[in-house]
Amino acid sequence: AQSVTQLDSQVPVFEEAPVELRCNYSSSVSVYLFWYVQYPNQGLQLLLKYLSGSTLVKGINGFEAEFNKSQTSFHLRKPSVHISDTAEYFCAGGVSGGYNKLIFGAGTRLAVHP
Amino acid sequence: DAGVIQSPRHEVTEMGQEVTLRCKPISGHDYLFWYRQTMMRGLELLIYFNNNVPIDDSGMPEDRFSAKMPNASFSTLKIQPSEPRDSAVYFCASSSTVNTEAFFGQGTRLTVV
């Protein structure tokens, strides 16, 4: 069965420090992977996506993620965070071909402290 | 395009009442998704449509929940009768294909008292 696991429910970090939010997926076929961000009282906004090609994907707001097929991971990173990055981050994945639904992880709350 | 539009943004209703949530997807998108977000269960896919046809409704929690998509520009999620445990934020999303990015609406915060 297809699943997406976010390994940390909360990640506290100081401003200007680097951060990594971890995501693992479970699938035996080709996958599509996404990271979304949700600010308080808002809908989800796409940060970046991996469909194929280069395994290092750059997104908005200075975020990037690396698709690692051998480790079935798609961790999100940012070298220096800002207070404004405080939000909930969701990893999501889908299986290619046919009618397949996008599965979301449980979310990771990133709290950036001054 | 104005993005995915949901209405109302907030809904407070009494237990036992019928609730209807509305969604207008992005023009040209042929997939539409309904999600429910709660603290306990996170983001759950309830149902999704392709070309107005329901494809997978396995996430719909009970028969009290129903969803329709009468045309390409409109969908409803109805709860009848509503219960306090239905309180959540309901999101609608649309995409041009099922495996590309989904664009989310602002959500409807439902409170059943």
Could you list the pLDDT tens digit for every one of the 113 residues in chain B? 689 999 999 999 999 999 999 999 999 999 999 999 998 888 888 999 999 999 989 899 889 999 999 999 999 999 999 999 999 999 999 988 756 788 999 999 999 99
- Given an 8 Å threshold on Cβ–Cβ distance, is B98 in contact with A94? yes
Which pLDDT value is given to residue A61?
Answer: 92
- Given an 8 Å threshold on Cβ–Cβ distance, is B101 in contact with A100? no
Which pLDDT value is given to residue A29?
Answer: 56
The predicted-structure confidence for B37-61, as pLDDT tens digits, reads as follows 998 888 888 999 999 999 989 899 8
In sequence order, the 6+-apart residues with CB closer than 8 A to the CB of A2 are A25, A26, A27, A93, A95, A100, A103
A 5-64: CB under 8 A from B: 32, 34, 36, 42-46, 49, 51
The predicted-structure confidence for A20-69, as pLDDT tens digits, reads as follows 999 998 875 567 889 999 998 888 999 999 888 888 999 999 999 999 98
What phi and psi values does residue B35 have, to the nearest 5 degrees?
A: -120, 155
Which structure tokens are listed for A44? 């989800």
What phi and psi values does residue A83 have, to the nearest 5 degrees?
A: -55, -35
Which pLDDT value is given to residue A111?
Answer: 97
Which pLDDT value is given to residue B98?
Answer: 59
Residues of B with CB under 8 A from a CB of A: 4, 33, 35, 42-43, 45, 48, 50, 55-56, 91, 93, 98-107
Is the model's pLDDT at A97 over the cut of 60? no
Of A46, A101, A104, the CB nearest to B56: A101
